[in-house]
Chains A and B, each alone.
Chain A
């Protein structure tokens, strides 16, 4: 089970020694996905026929009003719940439960308070029974998010931004070809947020994973993603599929960004 998780590296000779090899991004496809919450009185529909494809290595933002069902969509893609209807496939294979090849970062860091920083990052290898074999990768993942000096700290000693970096390192340690980000910067202060946005882009460019980012922040989507899927109110349906292929690093004041921002806000405002 474990051997297939670590995707083969794309170009091992171009990688500096000591850095984990880039992974090939996974392709994702959703076909007519419906989902509803089983409430006591009547089922509450949250996803209404969502279909889209993501090509390997793309950075796609799922944008929509809060509570519209985008986080549910991410949970389905992670495999934490099966969809009521429809098909979700990664690299052509239908999902069967969660898998370490699809990393998930939540809005809350949800670190284990009883584990040190390094212990939290090591959860992935430990859960797969490869703690010893992959201890080097744990250190590397921590270095990747700039927290090498904090291995032995405990979560309650970290700031919100640091805790979220640890959560990111924890997801990256498995070298997932698909990284699912559920408003990971939603609760951070605006300065930390800007820094972390830049870091996310850098990590994505370095590693080559496919990124799926749920956000309700239009600007964040425009700064990070190559493609933005705009969702309607609940039950969520795709209202617009916007290509966004400006080079990185992007600037907030770029007239194109400002115009796109206005257009998307209009779209959401009339929703």
Chain B
């Protein structure tokens, strides 16, 4: 496709809008400039790790420079770095602005807005506690999400397939489902024996509702002719459910899993802030309590990375399972 687009009517091959190598060099220059901005003007405060940050930025700039001089050829990594170059230039600009606004000029009030080097310091000094928090959050999320997704999927299939199950479950689902899972929090914390069990339940609840509804609508929307085909070929009910209805509904199920993952993050963080004594939500709360604002930003960054990573993972699984589908949304 893109090859065709590059050939003009007269047959001449059009050059891409910019030279990839040049863009890479520009990005390298931006990061080395950023490094100079961090290293050269004196800090308006006592920050450790200013030197280390400058070295890190300079090192990254040097890498970009090297990528610019390498032949793009078939090397995927080099080409990808070059593709991201415009973004990297903007990123360097934003980091520079942040550095100026905090450490160098103090345009922003100090304890609340720490400079980049303070965040780096948190990562270096407090990585053990951060890693432990990530581990606890992931463990809680995995348990609750798996439970909720499995229950929601099973329930959705049952409602979509059986009129009887639909009759009994549908009203309950309509009444209870839209309630935000966080509303159950006070109740859950005294009903369940431990705050961990309570949070697992809440995460499962938050995941389960969208998964149930989307699975159900997926099953209900299956082309009826698919069943006719299978029945004339000798299929029984088990085959119709497992080999026709469920595969046909999978695209919907994945939308539900995606929505469920989003709401499970929200519940997880709130549960950790209010009851569980571990995890990234707890870390945020703890950092705020000690006025350790740099730690808060660091935890936010880690959380963003973790959530984005999990969504990416879900989309990868979907792309693999639904490779037969055309026009999938790229995450």
Give CA–CA (A35, B277) in the complex, Å: 69
A-side interface mostly: loop
Interface string of A28-68 (1 = CB under 8 A from B): 00000000000000000000000000000000000000000
Q: Are B248 and A104 touching (Cβ within 8 A)?
A: no
CB neighbours (8 Å) of B105 from chain A are: none
CB neighbours (8 Å) of B234 from chain A are: 5, 98-100, 124, 127-128, 174
Residue among B232, B247, B324, B325 making CB contact with A98, cutoff 8 Å: B232
Q: From B223, which residue of chain A is reached at the shortest CB distance?
A: A110
Q: Is B228 an interface residue (CB 8 A)?
A: yes
Q: Which of B6-14, B16-24, B54-62, B235-243 lies on the face that meets chain A?
A: B235-243
Q: Are A100 and B248 touching (Cβ within 8 A)?
A: no
Q: From A116, which residue of chain B is reached at the shortest CB distance?
A: B324
Given contacts A126-B243, A127-B234, A127-B236, contact A114 B324 (CB under 8 A): yes
CB neighbours (8 Å) of B232 from chain A are: 78-80, 98-100, 102-104, 171
Q: Which of B316-331 contact A (CB under 8 A)?
A: 322, 324-326
CB neighbours (8 Å) of A108 from chain B are: 225
B-side interface mostly: helix
Given contacts A128-B234, A154-B324, contact A110 B226 (CB under 8 A): yes
Given contacts A123-B233, A127-B233, A127-B236, contact A112 B244 (CB under 8 A): yes
Interface string of B204-229 (1 = CB under 8 A from A): 00000000000000000001011011
Residue among A114, A115, A155, A174 making CB contact with B233, cutoff 8 Å: A174
Q: Is A207 an interface residue (CB 8 A)?
A: no
Given contacts A112-B248, A154-B324, A156-B326, contact A100 B225 (CB under 8 A): no
Give CA–CA (A127, B233) in the complex, Å: 7
Give CA–CA (A154, B322) in the complex, Å: 12
CB neighbours (8 Å) of B248 from chain A are: 112, 114
Give CA–CA (A78, B229) in the complex, Å: 10
Give CA–CA (A174, B231) in the complex, Å: 13
CB neighbours (8 Å) of A110 from chain B are: 223, 225-226, 228-229
- A19–chain B nearest beta-carbon distance, Å: 21
Q: Is A237 an interface residue (CB 8 A)?
A: no
Q: Which of A82-119 contact B (CB under 8 A)?
A: 97-100, 102-104, 106, 108, 110, 112-115
- A234–chain B nearest beta-carbon distance, Å: 21
- A218–chain B nearest beta-carbon distance, Å: 27
Q: Are A113 and B233 touching (Cβ within 8 A)?
A: no
Residue among B230, B247, B324, B325 making CB contact with A127, cutoff 8 Å: B230
Give CA–CA (A5, B234) in the complex, Å: 10
Q: Which of A124-160 contact B (CB under 8 A)?
A: 124, 126-128, 154-156
Interface string of B166-199 (1 = CB under 8 A from A): 0000000000000000000000000000000000
Q: From B326, which residue of chain A is reached at the shortest CB distance?
A: A156
- A141–chain B nearest beta-carbon distance, Å: 12
Q: Are B225 and A123 touching (Cβ within 8 A)?
A: no
Q: From A102, which residue of chain B is reached at the shortest CB distance?
A: B232
Q: Are A106 and B236 touching (Cβ within 8 A)?
A: no
Interface string of B290-331 (1 = CB under 8 A from A): 000000000000000000000000000000001011100000
Q: Is A170 an interface residue (CB 8 A)?
A: yes
Q: Are A113 and B325 touching (Cβ within 8 A)?
A: yes
Q: From B322, which residue of chain A is reached at the shortest CB distance?
A: A114
Residue among B223, B231, B247, B250 with the highest chain A CB neighbour number at 10 A: B231
- B322–chain A nearest beta-carbon distance, Å: 8
CB neighbours (8 Å) of B244 from chain A are: 112
Give CA–CA (A112, B225) in the complex, Å: 10
Q: From A123, which residue of chain B is reached at the shortest CB distance?
A: B233
Q: From A124, which residue of chain B is reached at the shortest CB distance?
A: B233
Give CA–CA (A106, B225) in the complex, Å: 9
Q: Are B225 and A98 touching (Cβ within 8 A)?
A: no
- A117–chain B nearest beta-carbon distance, Å: 11
Give CA–CA (A84, B145) in the complex, Å: 49
Give CA–CA (A110, B324) in the complex, Å: 15
Residue among A102, A124, A174 with the highest chain B CB neighbour number at 10 A: A124
CB neighbours (8 Å) of B243 from chain A are: 123, 126-127
Give CA–CA (A104, B226) in the complex, Å: 12
CB neighbours (8 Å) of B322 from chain A are: 114
Closest 8 CB pairs of A and B: A100-B234, A127-B235, A124-B233, A104-B232, A98-B231, A128-B234, A114-B247, A110-B225
11 A-B interface contacts by CB (under 8 A)? A100-B232, A110-B223, A110-B228, A112-B226, A112-B244, A112-B248, A123-B233, A124-B233, A127-B239, A155-B324, A171-B232
Q: Which residues of A contact B (CB under 8 A)?
A: 5, 75, 78-80, 97-100, 102-104, 106, 108, 110, 112-115, 123-124, 126-128, 154-156, 170-171, 174
